[in-house]
Chains A and B, each alone.
Chain A
Amino acid sequence: MLAEFGHFALLLIVATGLGQAVLCSPFWLRVPVHASLQGNPVLLTDAGTITTNGSTGGLPLNSRAHLIMPFGILAMAIIAQAALLHSFIISDFSLPIVAEVSHSSTPLLFRIGAAFTPDGGAMVLWLLMLSLVNVLLTLQLFGPAKSPYAQEDDGTLFKNAMSIMGLLIAVLGVATLIDADPFLRIPVAPLDGRGMNPQSQDILRVLREPFLYVGLAGLAVIHALTLSGLIFKKFDRRIAETLRFWTIASWLSLGAAIAINAYRSYSQQAWGNWWYWDTAENSLLLPWLLTTALLHCRAVLEKTETLKGWTAFLGLSALAVGWFGVYLTRSDLFGSLSETLNKPHDSVALLIGFCVVFAGSYYLFWRRGEELGEPRSFELVSRESSMFINSVMLALIAAVVLIGTIYPLVLRWFDGENITVGGPFYVEVLVPVVVPLLFLMGFAPTLRWRQDEMWLIGRRMKLAAILSVIIILFVSIRFIELSPAPLIGIGLAGWILTASLSDLWARLWRQPDHGESKYRNLQLLGPRYLSMTLAHIGLAIMLAGGAASSIWEEQVVVSARAGQSIQAGPYNLQYEGVALLAGENYATRQATFILYRHALPVTELFPEIRYYPIRGVETREAGIWHGRDGDLHVSVGDRADDGGRIVSVRFLPMMTWVWAGMIMMLIGGTFSILTRIVLRFQKNGVSTS
Chain B
Amino acid sequence: MTKRLLMLVGALGIVLPLLASGPAMAVNPDEMLSNPALEKRARDISQELRCLVCQNQSIDDSDAELARDLRVLVRERLIAGDSNEEAIDYIVARYGDYVLLNPPLKPETYILWGSPVVLALLALLAVFAFYRRKQREASAGTTASLSREEQARLDEILGSSKGDGKA
Contacts and interface: CB of A to CB of B under 8 A. Distances in A.
Interface of A: 105, 269-271, 273, 276-280, 335-337, 340, 377-378, 380, 388-389, 392-393, 395-396, 399-400, 403-404, 407, 411, 415, 417-425, 428-429, 432-433, 557-559, 580, 582, 584-587, 589, 611, 613, 616, 618, 620, 635, 637-641, 644, 646, 648
Contact of A587 (B8, B27, B120, B127): B8
Interface string B137-156: 11001000000000000000
B109 A392 contact: no
A640 B28 contact: yes
Contacts of A637: 23-25, 28, 63
Contact of A646 (B20, B28, B48): B28
A400 B116 contact: yes
Nearest to A432: B120
A422 B61 contact: no
B24 A278 contact: no
30 contacts: A105-B4, A270-B25, A271-B61, A273-B61, A276-B56, A280-B55, A335-B55, A337-B55, A377-B137, A378-B134, A388-B127, A403-B116, A404-B112, A411-B108, A419-B103, A420-B100, A423-B56, A425-B102, A428-B102, A429-B113, A557-B28, A559-B28, A582-B4, A587-B12, A611-B18, A616-B14, A638-B18, A640-B28, A640-B30, A646-B28
Given A403-B115, A611-B18, A638-B23, A422 B101 contact: yes
- Going nearest first, the 9 A-B pairs with the smallest beta carbon separation are A637-B25, A422-B101, A587-B11, A424-B102, A337-B55, A278-B55, A582-B8, A418-B98, A613-B11
A642 to B, nearest CB: 8
A557 B29 contact: yes
B158 interface: no
A415 B20 CA distance: 44
Interface of B: 3-4, 7-8, 10-12, 14-15, 18-30, 32, 48, 50, 54-58, 60-61, 63, 96-103, 108-109, 111-113, 115-116, 119-120, 123, 126-127, 130-131, 134, 137-138, 141
Given A407-B112, A417-B108, A611 B14 contact: yes
B56 A641 contact: no
Given A407-B111, A419-B98, A277 B120 contact: no
A377 B134 contact: yes
Contact of A638 (B24, B120, B138): B24
Nearest to B29: A559
B108 A419 contact: yes
Nearest to B32: A557
A298 B39 CA distance: 52
Contacts of A415: 108
A586 B97 CA distance: 38
A280 B57 CA distance: 13
**Most B Cβ at <10 Å: residue of A271, A422, A637:** A422
Select the residue from A407, A589, A638 with max chain B CB neighbours within 10 A: A638
Q: Is the interface of A mostly helix, strand, loop or mixed?
A: mixed
Given A277-B56, A613-B10, A639-B23, A424 B61 contact: no
A329 to B, nearest CB: 11
A422 B58 contact: yes
B48 A396 contact: no
A336 B10 CA distance: 30
Contacts of A425: 101-103
B15 to A, nearest CB: 5
A261 to B, nearest CB: 13
Contacts of B126: 392
Contacts of B12: 580, 587
Contacts of A620: 63
A318 to B, nearest CB: 18
Contacts of A270: 25-26, 61, 63
Nearest to B115: A403
| Among B14, B116, B130, B141: residue with most chain A CB under 10 A | B116
A646 B61 contact: no
Given A396-B119, A420-B99, A403 B21 contact: no
B25 A648 contact: yes
Contacts of B111: 407
A646 B18 contact: no
B108 A557 contact: no
A580 B13 CA distance: 12
A557 B39 CA distance: 12
Given A557-B29, A580-B15, 16 more contacts: A105-B7, A270-B25, A279-B55, A280-B55, A337-B54, A404-B112, A411-B108, A420-B56, A420-B100, A425-B103, A429-B113, A582-B4, A637-B63, A638-B19, A638-B25, A639-B20
B29 A646 contact: yes
Contacts of B134: 377-378
Contacts of A276: 55-57, 61
Given A418-B96, A423-B56, A613-B11, A646 B102 contact: no
A667 B42 CA distance: 42
B22 A422 contact: no
Contacts of B101: 420, 422-425
Contacts of A393: 123
Contact of B27 (A269, A396, A557, A616): A557
B54 to A, nearest CB: 7
Contacts of B32: 557
A300 to B, nearest CB: 13
Given A276-B55, A377-B138, A613-B11, A420 B103 contact: yes
Contact of A420 (B50, B116, B119): B50
Contacts of B112: 403-404, 407, 419, 421
A424 B48 contact: yes
Contacts of A638: 18-19, 21-25
Contacts of B15: 580, 587, 589, 611
B29 A421 contact: no
B55 A421 contact: no
Contacts of A648: 25-27
Contact of B60 (A271, A336, A587): A271
